[in-house]
Structure 1
Amino acid sequence: MNKIKVLCVDDSALIRNILTKIVNQQPDMEMVATALDPIIARDLIKQHNPDVLTLDVEMPRMDGLDFLERLMRLRPMPVIMVSSLTSKGSDITLSALELGAVDFVTKPQMGLQEGMMQYSELMADKIRTAAKAHIRRREGQIAAPKIINSPLVGSEKIIAIGASTGGTEAIRHVLMPMPASCPGIVIAQHMPPGFTRSFAERLDKICQITVKEAEDGERVLPGHAYIAPGGRHMELCRSGANYHVRLNDLPPVNRHRPSVDMLLQSVAESAGKNAVGAILTGMGYDGARGLLELHQTGAKTLAQSEKTCVVYGMPREAVLLNAVDEIVDLDQIAQTILKNIVGQARRI
Structure 2
Amino acid sequence: MSRKKVRVLIVDDSASVRQTLTAVLEEDPDIEVIGAASDPFSAARFIAKDIPDVITLDVEMPRMDGITFLRKLMTQHPIPVVMCSSLTEEGSETLMQALEAGAVDVILKPKIGVADHLQEAKGRICEAVKGAAQARLSARTRPQPFSRTVEKKLTADAMLPPPREGARAMARTTETVICIGASTGGTESLREVLQALPSNAPGIVIVQHMPEKFTAAFARRLNDLCAVEVKEAADGDAVLRGRVLIAPGNMHTLLERSGARYHVAVKSGPLVSRHRPSVDVLFRSAARAAGSNAVGVIMTGMGDDGARGLDEMKQAGAYTVAQDEATSIVFGMPKEAIARGAAMKVLPLGRIAAEILRLGAMAA
8 A Cα contact 2:174 2:363, kept in partner:
no
8 A Cα contact 2:233 2:248, kept in partner:
yes
- SS state of the match for residue 306, structure 1? coil
Aligned to 1:148: none
8 A Cα contact 1:155 1:183, kept in partner:
no
Q: Are 2:291 and 1:272 equivalent residues in the alignment?
A: yes
Aligned to 1:22: 24
1:281–1:18 distance in 2 versus 1, CA, 3 Å: same
Aligned to 2:192: 173
Deviations 1:233-289 (A, max 9, x none): 111111122111111112121111111111111111222112211001111111111
Deviations 1:6-47 (A, max 9, x none): 111111111111112223333232221111111121110111
Query: How far is the alpha carbon of 1:80 from its aligned partner?
Result: 0.5
1:218–1:27 distance in 2 versus 1, CA, 3 Å: closer
Task: Say which of 317, 330, 337 aligns to 1:298.
Answer: 317
Cα RMSD after superposing both structures:
1.9
Query: How far is the alpha carbon of 1:110 from its aligned partner?
Result: 5.6
8 A Cα contact 1:264 1:291, kept in partner:
yes
Distance (Å, rounded) in 1 between the aligned partners of 2:327 and 2:343: 17
Distance (Å, rounded) in 2 between the aligned partners of 1:42 and 1:101: 17
What residue identity is the alignment partner of 1:65? I
8 A Cα contact 2:20 2:118, kept in partner:
no
- SS state of the match for residue 35, structure 2? strand
Q: Are 2:10 and 1:8 equivalent residues in the alignment?
A: yes
What residue identity is the alignment partner of 2:286? V
Aligned to 1:288: 307
Alignment of 1:1-348 (within 5 A): 1-107=3-109, 111=113, 115-136=117-138, 156-345=175-364
Distance (Å, rounded) in 2 between the aligned partners of 1:341 and 1:20: 48
In the superposition, the TM-score normalised over structure 2's length comes to 0.86
Query: How far is the alpha carbon of 1:91 from its aligned partner?
Result: 1.0
- SS state of the match for residue 101, structure 1? coil
- SS state of the match for residue 308, structure 1? coil
8 A Cα contact 1:11 1:37, kept in partner:
yes
Percent of residue pairs identical: 50
In the superposition, the TM-score normalised over structure 1's length comes to 0.90
What residue identity is the alignment partner of 1:240? G
What residue identity is the alignment partner of 1:3? K
Distance (Å, rounded) in 1 between the aligned partners of 2:75 and 2:88: 28
Deviations 1:78-136 (A, max 9, x none): 10000111112111112111111111100157659875543222222221221122112
1:113–1:64 distance in 2 versus 1, CA, 3 Å: closer
Unaligned runs of 5+ in 1: 139-153
Unaligned runs of 5+ in 2: 141-172
Distance (Å, rounded) in 2 between the aligned partners of 1:136 and 1:272: 39
Distance (Å, rounded) in 2 between the aligned partners of 1:252 and 1:156: 31
Deviates more, 1:31-40 or 1:77-86: 31-40
8 A Cα contact 2:249 2:276, kept in partner:
yes
- SS state of the match for residue 201, structure 1? helix
